[in-house]
Structure 1
Amino acid sequence: MNSNPSLIFHLNSELLEGPVFDHKENLLYFVSILDCLVFCYNPYNREILSVKLDSPVSCIFLLDKKRVMVASKNGFFEVDFNTLQKQFSFQIDIANSVRYNDGIKDPEGRFLIGTMGFPEVKDNIGKVYSYSEGKSKVIIKDTTISNGLAFSQDGCSLYFIDTPTKKVAKYAYDMKTGAVLFESYVIKFNGEGSPDGMCMDKEGMLWIAEWGGGCVSRWNPISGKKIDERKLPCLNVTSCCIDNQLNLYVTTAKSSKDDMNGGGLFYVELN
């Protein structure tokens, strides 16, 4: 089933990523990784605010009203969109040859975040970290392009994408300790697209952005079957999130200099 996605925002960015929807405040956050920019979008009045950091940014964690934690290569910064101010918060001990990529908060408030090679992607040098109360630990090792992270509705399972594997892995998640245990690969991509960012909907299904596939696709993580697909007018689709109307915001990246739509933020109506 196809729909006509609406272009919400286009700054001619090379790589938009990390959309996160604040359901309480009805605000969307996303980043332009290589421009070092963090954005806050208000769907009601279409206001877009931005704050620039001093190194590539990757993902956003919600704190409270118009305040977020943003991961950048040079560390984690609190960004306040009430004042457009930023303040360094903490850094995890990561190698100079990597940067942060996708992340998510667990139900207990821990920051989970993966790394990947930068400026050059290299096999198996990435890790997924868990950070809480000043301490970090590695929970997944030997990844290449650490991408989508999503929790099951009961919080007992963590789904994770290492993009070059073209698979979605499922881990048992211990809420008390934050430890993970690999269980199985639950989804496998056989087409042109590779899985990138993802989110879970209210029915427990996974919406997955397809890098090189020009779409977002919906999957049942129990059966491993694809159950829906929505095309985008560009090849590299990076991530997605669901708003209060149960529709999708989708970020994209350029596939070439001639790609006029890549690097835009799109809205896909599901309902």
Structure 2
Amino acid sequence: MTKHLIYFSQSADLFEGPIFDSKHQLLYFVSILDCLVYCYNPITKEILSIKLDSPTSNVYLISKKVVLVASKNGFYEIDFNTLKSSFKFQIDISNNVRYNDGIEDAAGRYIIGTMGYPEVINGIGNVYSYKNGESKIIIKNTTISNGLAFTADNKTLYFIDTPTKKVAKYNYDIETGNVEFVDYVIEFNGDGSPDGMYIDKDGMLWVAEWGGACVSQWNPTTGNKINEINLPFTNVTSCCFDDKSNLYITTAKNVEEPSNNNGSGLFYVEIN
């Protein structure tokens, strides 16, 4: 297993939301509090960025170098071919929340959670589903809505509300977009709290651990931890796989360890 620090910014507080476009071999991620969206080409090593006017949180793929990005002030289409952005829509959310992690389901719905901003407020968040101008709440009263992952058959949605230190399992109806809580399938008992999450081709969950300096791999059927990838940054925020089943990982600044971690990092871990 080989780890590469691809890009490092001394000033960035919070790298998040990596998503890999296998068709076009591009990685997207955000710097939430800097309101930035990045497009990274792992072949040419080129990094492009576009700044919006409010905190960014999640990227949805549209076409080559074109993405939809969730920001506090709404969802924007960003074209990295022209380095231009255009407002598309907004969901009716409170002024004291912002968007956080999200995912697109197989029917084209944009699923996204919210959390208190600028202050975290217990139970103020929700998880929304949006398609064709209509939105609805599918999970209520969350605090820090984070990782989301669908099983290959689209029948199960895994979800993380970070302060619970658990991964929840929901039955998912792809026809209606409705969810039904089943149970908590994974519990974190160490220093790390679950943040972003990705599901691999075998149905195993890879969870970034905020405060845990690692990404851990879990079997959601048994609740057992399978593997752990340690990182030199304490606050690990999210992860995703490329088409070679190797792992991109984002990390955040740790203000309590300024000498050890004074910025955010993007890592590439060669597992295969």
Question: Could you tell me how far apart the structure 2 residues matched to 1:152 and 1:20 are?
Answer: 17
What is the deviation of 1:261?
6.3
Gapped runs of 5+ residues in structure 1? Answer: none
Structure-2 residue corresponding to 1:203: 202
Question: Could you tell me how far apart the structure 2 residues matched to 1:67 and 1:4 are?
Answer: 30
Q: Which amino acid is 1:117 matched to?
A: G
8 A Cα contact 2:9 2:263, kept in partner: no
Structure-2 residue corresponding to 1:6: 4
Question: Could you tell me how far apart the structure 2 residues matched to 1:134 and 1:260 are?
Answer: 42
Q: Which amino acid is 2:210 matched to?
A: W
Question: Could you tell me how far apart the structure 2 residues matched to 1:129 and 1:75 are?
Answer: 13
Question: Could you tell me how far apart the structure 1 residues matched to 2:263 and 2:203 are?
Answer: 29
Question: Could you tell me how far apart the structure 2 residues matched to 1:216 and 1:71 are?
Answer: 24
> Compared with structure 1, are the counterparts of its residues 210 and 178 closer, same or farther at alpha carbon in structure 2 (3 Å cutoff)?
same
Percent of aligned pairs with the same amino acid: 66
Residue 267 of structure 2 corresponds to residue 266 of structure 1? yes
Question: Could you tell me how far apart the structure 1 residues matched to 2:246 and 2:206 are?
Answer: 11
Question: Could you tell me how far apart the structure 2 residues matched to 1:258 and 1:100 are?
Answer: 30
| Count of aligned pairs between the two proteins | 269
Q: Mapping of 1:106-185 within 5 angstroms?
A: 106-185=105-184
SS for the counterpart of 1:34 is helix
Q: Which amino acid is 2:233 matched to?
A: C
Structure-1 residue corresponding to 2:36: 37
SS for the counterpart of 1:5 is strand
When normalised by structure 2's length, the TM-score is 0.97
8 A Cα contact 2:2 2:271, kept in partner: no
Question: Could you tell me how far apart the structure 1 residues matched to 2:260 and 2:152 are?
Answer: 37
Question: Could you tell me how far apart the structure 1 residues matched to 2:269 and 2:175 are?
Answer: 36
Runs of 4+ residues deviating >2 angstroms: 257-262
Gapped runs of 5+ residues in structure 2? Answer: none
Q: Mapping of 1:62-101 within 5 angstroms?
A: 62-101=61-100
When normalised by structure 1's length, the TM-score is 0.98
8 A Cα contact 2:249 2:268, kept in partner: yes
Question: Could you tell me how far apart the structure 2 residues matched to 1:214 and 1:146 are?
Answer: 20
What per-residue deviation string (whole Å, max 9, x for no partner) do you get for residues 127-148 of structure 1?
Answer: 0000000000000001000000
Question: Could you tell me how far apart the structure 2 residues matched to 1:144 and 1:170 are?
Answer: 17
What is the deviation of 1:244?
1.3
What per-residue deviation string (whole Å, max 9, x for no partner) do you get for residues 145-177 of structure 1?
Answer: 000000011110000000000000000000000
What per-residue deviation string (whole Å, max 9, x for no partner) do you get for residues 48-67 of structure 1?
Answer: 00000000000000011111
What is the deviation of 1:260?
3.2
Residue 230 of structure 2 corresponds to residue 231 of structure 1? yes
Question: Could you tell me how far apart the structure 1 residues matched to 2:164 and 2:259 are?
Answer: 28
Question: Could you tell me how far apart the structure 2 residues matched to 1:90 and 1:102 are?
Answer: 17
Question: Could you tell me how far apart the structure 2 residues matched to 1:203 and 1:4 are?
Answer: 22
What is the deviation of 1:5?
2.0
RMSD, aligned CA: 0.9
SS for the counterpart of 1:164 is helix
Q: Which amino acid is 2:26 matched to?
A: L
Q: Which amino acid is 1:6 matched to?
A: H
8 A Cα contact 1:20 1:60, kept in partner: yes
